[in-house]
Amino acid sequence: MMMALRGASAFLVLFLAAFLPPPQCAQDPAMVHYIHQRFQVLEQRLEKCTEVTRAYIQEFQEFAKNISAMLGRCMTYTSEYKSAVGNLATRVERAQREIDYLEYLRESDVCVESEDKILAEKLIEEAEEKKRIQTLLNASCDNMLMGIKSLKIVKKTVDTDGSWMKDAVGSSPKVYFLIGSRNNTVWEFANMRTFVEDSTKPAPRKLILTLSWQGTGQVIYKGFLFFHNQGTPNEIIKYNLQKRAVEDRMWLPGGAGRSLVYQHSPSTYIDLAVDEHGLWAIHSGPGFHGHLVLTKIEPDSLGMEHSWDTPCRSHDAEASFLLCGVLYVVYSTSGHGRHHITCVYDPLGTVSEERLPNLFFPGRQKSHSMIHYNPRDKQLYAWNDGNQIIYKLQTKRKLHVE
C-alpha cells in the first residue's frame, strides 16, 4: 500500500513538472496562455477518451445482449435438437426391433423348412431301410409259431451241456453230435437211426477240429460248421467239415460276446441260428442282463447284413430260436419249472406278440442248454439235462399287423 502511494506522488510531481512553468515564469502572460491551451488539449483528449469509452461500453453491452439472445436461441435449438435426436433414436430402436422380429420370422421359417426337410429325409431313409430289410428277408416263408405240440426224447447222455443237429439245408440225413460247452470233437452219424441206436453200424465218424468251440450255439449250414471260437469274445468260425479246415472267420461288432446271451446258459456268449432266411447270430447287448441283439449274417462271405436291438431281455432266458425271420425267446424261473416263450421279435413288424397264444413247452424239464430250429423238417432240436429232444411245432400263416 505504501509503495502504491509513493508511486502516485511521483507521478503527480512529474505531471506538474511537465505542465507548470517554473516559479519565475508564473507572471509571464504568454506562458499562462500556453498552459491554458495545453489544458484545453488535454481536456479535449480526455473527453474524446471518455466518449470512446462510452461507445465501447455501449457496443459491448449490445454485443453482450446479442450474445445472450444467441445463447438463448442456442439453448432452444439444443433442446429441439436433443428432442429430435431422441425421437430419431426411438425410431431407430423401433426399426431395429422390427428388423429383429422379421429376422426371427425368417429364421423360424428356415428352421421349420429345415425340420420338415430332416423329417422328410428321415421318412425316406426309414422307407428305404424297410424296403432293404424286406428284400433281405424275402424268403417264401409266411408262418408263425402257434404252439409246441409234443416232445420226443431221442437219446439220453450223461452230459448236461451240448448240441446236436442236422444240416439246415440239403437232403443229407447225417446227424452231428457235439458234447460239452468247450470241445473240438464232432461226432458224425450216418442218419437218425444210427444216432439213436449206438450198436447200429456204421459207427460214427470222429472229426477233430483244429479249433475249439465255446458254448452250445453251433449250427451246420450248407456243409459248414459255424461256431463261436473259444478264447475270443466275438469271433465266429466257418469250418469246412469235409476238408477239416477253417474256411473263413468274422468278428461280430457292438460288444458281442462280452456277457452271457442267456442267464440260464452259463457257457453261451454267442448263439447261432438258422431258419428259412439263412444264418443268424444272437448275443446280449451292453449292460447287466441287457437286451438281446439279433444279427443277420451272409454265410458265404461272413459279412454282417443287418443288426437289430430287440426288446427281449437276457435275464431269466435260457435259449432262443428263429422261425421265418421271427425271434422266439424261451424263459424259465431259475432254470426250472415250466418253460415258456414270452418275448417275440419280428424285424418286419408283421407279427403281433399280443395276438399270439401262450407258448409253453410240454413237460417240466430242467433248463435247455440249446434249442435250434431246423427249416428242413420244421422241428426244434433241443438239449435238456442230457436228453436230446425233438419238439414238433404247430404253425399258421402270420397275422399281419396293419
Q: What is the pLDDT of residues 273-328, one digit of tens each?
A: 999 999 999 998 776 458 999 999 999 999 999 999 999 999 999 999 999 999 99
CA-to-CA distance for 193 and 285, rounded, in angstroms?
Answer: 40
As a whole-number percent, the residues of the chain with pLDDT over 70 amount to 84
- pLDDT at res. 310: 93
For the cut 80, the answer to whether the pLDDT of residue 105 exceeds it is no
Banded model confidence at residue 8, pLDDT cuts 50, 70, 90: very low
- pLDDT at res. 273: 98
- pLDDT at res. 47: 84
Nearest in space to 341 (alpha carbons), one of 316, 366, 307: 316
E strand intervals along 215-277: 219-221, 224-228, 235-240, 245-251, 270-275
- pLDDT at res. 16: 47
For the cut 60, the answer to whether the pLDDT of residue 4 exceeds it is no
**Peptide bond connecting 202 to the previous residue in cis, omega within 30 degrees of 0:** yes
For the cut 90, the answer to whether the pLDDT of residue 131 exceeds it is no
Class of 135-397 in CATH:
mainly beta
Average pLDDT on 160-186 reads: 95
Average pLDDT, the chain: 84
Taking the model in full, what pTM does it have? 0.69
* The three cell numbers locating residue 244: 477239416
For the cut 70, the answer to whether the pLDDT of residue 61 exceeds it is yes
